[in-house]
Chains A and B, each alone.
Chain A
Amino acid sequence: MRFRTQLVNPLTFSKLTASLASLGKVCWMRLEYDVIRFTIIPDQGTQVWAQIPIDAIFDETTYELESNSDAINIEINVSVLHRALRSAVGSTSAQFRLTKKGKTPLLALTVLSAQFTPGNMTLSTTDGGPVAEDAQQLPPTANRDVVGDMGAREREVWITQEVPIKILHEAVVDGLHEPHCPDPDVHIILPSLQQLKSVSDRFTKLAASDSKNTRPSVLAPEAPGLSAASFSENGGSGGSGGTALSTNSSPKLELSANMHGKLKLSIVTDELRLSSVWSGLVNPELDPAQMSQTAYSQLPSERNRAAKDDGESGWATVRIDGRDWGRVLSVGRLSPKVVACFINEMALVLYVYLPGRRNREDSCLTYYINSFAL
């Protein structure tokens, strides 16, 4: 088993891990020849399945992967990975490799950094300068070596961050499948996530301040396959039991959309009814080549597209946890294009396409968000 590559886009990778880390700590990272997959399935809340072509963050020419099963599955704490990556941002070069210290497998990030101010002249083998910053934030399990370049004038420093990982056997991850959802009722391109997030957060705040409005809420009937699982503990059985019921009083936002370019975000509390409506959004066309003409016109979304734009019919609605939604929208820092697929009263699926399309495949993050029942 072998993995080694140069990191070419540490900033994107760092933003990506930051967004992932807001949803959950434990991440299944699957290294393949062409793509890297990241999967986070928290006990409750949104799960995310991301697929990044290797050339979006790594250097293809130095990418080395050897494995009996053509893929390496590892379990990694994504927030530790994110903190390790912060030292790579702005570096001269950065390299990832799979290694071992004793019996502990590690993902080692070696960074050659050349951006030290004169104030850090004395930096040698111990903490100091920007490295010390990281050292305090890293948990003790993440080892770190700093080797100062003794030629002080060059001020180049090698930093090695070692992130402990768990190697997952192929059998463990076999039971994990991306959720399968019914055909969406509405699909629409979301407006700027930053704008959506600032409005959503304000809604959440308003709803939360109305503390009298604490109805217990339960999850809607499970979308097929949309259930929680953890990777190592229950051996990848797929977690057939339901997602933990969310009885907390976190405010629920109602998000709905139609096939006429409208998206509506609303809350109802004892004191007020508040809604924001975006109009003039795009409902992307599906690729008709993928299916027959009859099947295409029978899609719920196409039927909704044909529906009259009378403001009443053709809306698909989901109810989502305001705080969880805010965390999902933090992916806006990557300024992606986001297609939201609404499955009425059941689930919301977000396809997040990162900008800067490379040659072959798109980078795509898929978020699966369950709808809450009233």
Chain B
Amino acid sequence: MEPLFAGVSNNAHHLYTLLSCIGFASKATVQITPGGLRFSAEEARVMQGLAFLDKSLFTSYTFNNPPTENTHPDQNGDDDDDNNSSDNSNWPHFVVSLSAILETLKIFGLNELSESDPSGNTRPQQNNTASSSAFNTPALLLDRTCTLQYAQHGAPLSITLTEAGVVTTCELNTYEPEEDYADIPLQREAIIMKIIMRSTWLHNAIAELDSSTPTILKLSACATREPYFALSGAGGPFSESTVEFSIDTHNEVTGGATGQSQGGQQQSQTQAHHKILTDDGSSRPRATRAKLAPTVTETFLVSPPSAMGERIQQSYRFALVRKAARAMAVANKVSIRGDRQGVLSLQFMIELDEQGVAVGRSVGAGVKTAAVGTVCFVDFRFVPLLDEEDAEEDVLMAGE
């Protein structure tokens, strides 16, 4: 009997890179769709991570969904990166051990690449710049294939890794998902904030705040007044600290250039702290940019409903946001979105090159554009903290 699903990838490291982004949980819900595999992990119903393994990651992707006519046995590289094609709950879904999948994919030297500690506590400085050397394992083990198979409903999910002379098979027991399992809803029609920037900036900011071990992450965005976009950590044993993405009024060009380097960021930020934005700043040669947007952002749209005032302020559990650090480290760009209810969505764009290395961070920016491979997305959603105290503070701060 033909299996319900079979996918063959010749680069297990791609799969590993994407799945390790949501490796904060030990279990994941898998949904098989015609467009790819959707892995979702959640914690306490207030945080959710979604990794979508697009079928373009597989050299062969067969999905035979018996009840409906949704069979897509072809592999014509139809690149729709639409993560939301999975709303159809008819597609098979089940729960498997994510930690076991990750551990399995790491067999055979893959772990040399991703030595960064599994807690996601990767400092931005630990970039694997050497990871694309010609002599390391992924370059030498390109003949490896990785097959994922799900025979039928209730069958184990089997992962088969084949490498010269060695075949590793992992059969993961699949569990029924919980009845009331649902994604954290992000109201797409009520998005009031959308910020796109390089993921490095966010990663550095979170790492910076992390050093004071806060419990709450406060996000503040405003289209008209400073600070335009700021993240602050509160509730830790130390005082509150804030990272502010502000407008570099002086040298716009070099500001953009330092954005590529690790060390330049904090510097440009602190420099920017002392600048006062003048209204005639718009006469500077950055007319092409949207007015009044932080220097590092590519897109900066903040349009709160009038009831909320001009400023969007929400609080999230810092420890949960920090769990996305691994995704921040490997991703190239991040889209930060918030809806009217305060649900925060972090969507990471991860570029995978042919060798399985995430190019976003490991190769210099100049080289990167030449080596763009597959683009994948990993999504995180966070439910905001609703606290009366916070709300009062918000009012106070807004009144300042």
Contacts and interface: CB of A to CB of B under 8 A. Distances in A.
Interface of A: 191, 195, 198-199, 202, 205-206, 209, 270-280
Q: Which of A191, A209, A276 has the most CB of B within 10 A?
A: A276
B169 interface: yes
A279 B163 CA distance: 11
B166 A202 contact: no
Given A271-B97, A274-B104, A279-B167, 4 more contacts: A202-B103, A271-B173, A272-B173, A274-B170
8 contacts: A198-B109, A202-B103, A206-B103, A271-B97, A271-B172, A274-B170, A275-B169, A277-B167
Q: Which of B99, B168, B169 has the most CB of A within 10 A?
A: B168
B173 A270 contact: yes
A169 to B, nearest CB: 49
A280 B107 CA distance: 20
A92 to B, nearest CB: 34
Contact of A276 (B99, B100, B106, B107): B107
Given A199-B107, A199-B108, A202-B106, A271 B168 contact: no
A205 to B, nearest CB: 7
B165 A278 contact: yes
Contacts of A280: 165
B156 interface: yes
Q: How large is the interface on B (under 10, 10 to 19, 20 to 34, 35 or more residues)?
A: 20 to 34
B171 A202 contact: no
B167 to A, nearest CB: 5
A209 B106 CA distance: 15
A276 B168 contact: yes
B171 to A, nearest CB: 4
B170 A272 contact: yes
Contacts of A205: 103
A153 B107 CA distance: 52
A99 B132 CA distance: 55
Interface in B124-181: 156, 165-173
**Dominant secondary structure at the A interface:** mixed
A275 B103 contact: no
Contacts of B104: 206, 274
A274 B166 contact: no
B165 A202 contact: no
Contacts of A271: 96-97, 100, 172-173
Contacts of B106: 202
Given A198-B109, A199-B108, A276 B167 contact: yes
A205 B173 CA distance: 18
Contacts of A276: 107, 166-169
Nearest to B175: A271
The 9 closest A-B pairs by CB, nearest first: A276-B168, A273-B171, A271-B97, A274-B170, A272-B172, A277-B167, A272-B100, A206-B103, A278-B166
B173 A274 contact: no
Contact of A202 (B96, B97, B107, B172): B107
Given A198-B109, A199-B108, A209 B168 contact: no
A276 B167 CA distance: 5
A274 B169 contact: yes
A199 B111 CA distance: 11
Nearest to B161: A276
Contacts of A199: 107-108, 166, 168
A276 B159 CA distance: 11
A277 B166 contact: yes
A202 B108 CA distance: 10
B42 to A, nearest CB: 18
Contacts of B169: 273-277
B171 A272 contact: yes
B117 to A, nearest CB: 15
